[in-house]
């Protein structure tokens, strides 16, 4: 069944970690305020900076506090949905029980404000990066995940941290040596977006992951669609511009809500 709402908020790529306290603080404030003004909240991936299994994270005070806030949003009467990202696809039933949210497939079709929207984290659409797609295809296999979970949590945390650091270094190297290639590999492809929007007969695609917020009107082979991209959230690096947005969909349409200007919906 396709979930249907009059209005909803959509966010992604918060990359929450105790190491980024201002970003986490803004999310908690968002849960207490903006998130409660709508019927539904969709978190479409990379809520956490990295997640190497519920057993490695659920007992930490940080995880507990985030889960508690999400649960309180649910308790206030807002339905909360989660689509996994490439950083938190190992997020499992223990956290889901704590947060009380509903997990959706990637991609998922939803109805908001009498219109259909296709929601995806976005990493599966980056088909110009075959090495990543190969990594993605085997790490999403349940058997791989079961074997991975047999490794002690301390070792898994180290692995996760190394993987995360390596991804950042690889990205920075690509950017400095060959910005053109980095730009193509780190972005979704026209072909993948054409295929997915056609498969779901939906001309409105919403995703995150690429950290390239904006709206793109696109077409291929006589088929057209609009692609809405969410920003990541980062309020912890003073050397960079702060970033945090949400997409608000109502009967009147869709708007990008800037969450840097505090409490924008209050």
Nearest distance in Å: CB 251, Mn ion: 30
- The phi and psi torsions of 120 (rounded to 5 degrees) equal -150, 150
Write the interaction track for Mn ion spanning residues 79-98; mark x where CB under 5 A is met and - where it is not: ------xx------------
Q: With CB under 5 A, what is the number of residues at the site for Mn ion? A: 4
Q: For Mn ion, which is the closer residue by CB, 85 or 160?
A: 85
Nearer to Mn ion, 30 or 48 (CB): 48
Longest C-alpha distance within the chain, in Å? 52
Q: Which of 233, 251, 249 is nearest to 241 (CA)?
A: 233
147 sits in which H/E element: helix 142-148
- CB contact burial 134-171 (16+ within 10 A = b; e otherwise): eeeeeeeeeeeeeeebeeeeeebbeebeeeeeeeeeee
CA atoms of 158 and 150, how far apart (whole Å): 15
26 versus 207: smaller Cβ distance to Mn ion? 207
Closer residue to Mn ion, CB minimum distance, 209 or 227: 209
**Least distance between Mn ion and beta carbon 106 (Å):** 11
Rounded to the nearest whole angstrom, what is the least distance from the CB of residue 123 to Mn ion in the complex? 5
* Distance separating alpha carbons of residues 59 and 61, to the nearest angstrom: 6
CB of 69 to Mn ion, least distance (A): 21
198, 118 Cβ separation under 8 angstroms: no
CB nearer to Mn ion: pick between 115 and 216: 216
Between CA 3 and CA 260 the distance in angstroms is 29
Q: Is 160 in the site for Mn ion (CB under 5 A)?
A: no
Stretch that binds Mn ion, among 136-144, 159-167, 202-210, 217-225 (CB under 5 A): 202-210
Sole binder of Mn ion in the list 57, 156, 207, 209 (CB under 5 A): 209
* C-alpha to C-alpha distance for 266 and 29, rounded to whole angstroms: 11
Q: Measured from the CB of residue 135, what is the shortest distance to Mn ion in angstroms?
A: 13
The region of 55-63, 78-86, 109-117, 196-204 touching Mn ion under the rule CB under 5 A is 78-86
Q: Indicate whether 197 belongs to the interface with Mn ion (CB under 5 A).
A: no
Rounded Cα–Cα distance for residues 109 and 118 (Å):
5
202 membership: H or E segment, kind and range: none
132 and 123 in contact (C-beta within 8 Å)? yes
In the complex, least distance from residue 45 CB atom to Mn ion, rounded to whole angstroms:
6
Identity of the residue, 46 or 106, whose beta carbon is nearer to Mn ion in the bound complex: 46
Binding mask 42-61 vs Mn ion (x if CB under 5 A, - otherwise)? ----x---------------
Q: Least distance in Å: CB of 21 to Mn ion?
A: 21
Binding site for Mn ion (CB under 5 A): 46, 85-86, 209
């Amino acid at each position: 069944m396709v979930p249907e709402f009059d209005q909803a908020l959509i966010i992604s790529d918060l990359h929450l970690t105790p190491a980024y306290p201002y970003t986490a603080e803004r999310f908690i404030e968002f849960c207490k305020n903006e998130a409660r003004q709508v019927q539904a909240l969709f978190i479409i991936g990379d809520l956490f900076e990295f997640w190497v299994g519920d057993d490695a994270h659920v007992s930490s005070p940080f995880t507990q506090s985030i889960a508690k806030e999400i649960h309180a949003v649910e308790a206030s009467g807002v339905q909360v949905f989660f689509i996994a990202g490439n950083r938190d696809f190992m997020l499992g039933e223990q956290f889901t029980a704590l947060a009380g949210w509903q997990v959706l497939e990637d991609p998922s079709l939803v109805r908001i404000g009498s219109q259909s929207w296709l929601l995806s984290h976005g990493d599966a659409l980056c088909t110009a990066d075959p090495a990543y797609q190969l990594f993605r295809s085997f790490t999403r296999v349940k058997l791989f995940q079961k074997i991975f979970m047999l490794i002690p949590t301390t070792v898994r945390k180290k692995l996760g941290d190394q993987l995360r650091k390596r991804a950042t270094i690889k990205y920075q190297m690509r950017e400095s040596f060959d910005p053109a290639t980095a730009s193509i590999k780190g972005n979704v492809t026209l072909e993948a977006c054409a295929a997915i929007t056609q498969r779901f007969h939906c001309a409105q695609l919403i995703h995150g992951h690429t950290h390239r917020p904006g709206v793109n009107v696109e077409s291929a082979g006589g088929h057209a669609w609009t692609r809405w991209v969410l920003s990541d959230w980062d309020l912890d690096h003073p050397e960079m511009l702060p970033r945090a947005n949400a997409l608000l969909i109502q009967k009147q349409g869709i708007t990008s809500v800037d969450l840097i200007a505090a409490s924008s919906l209050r």
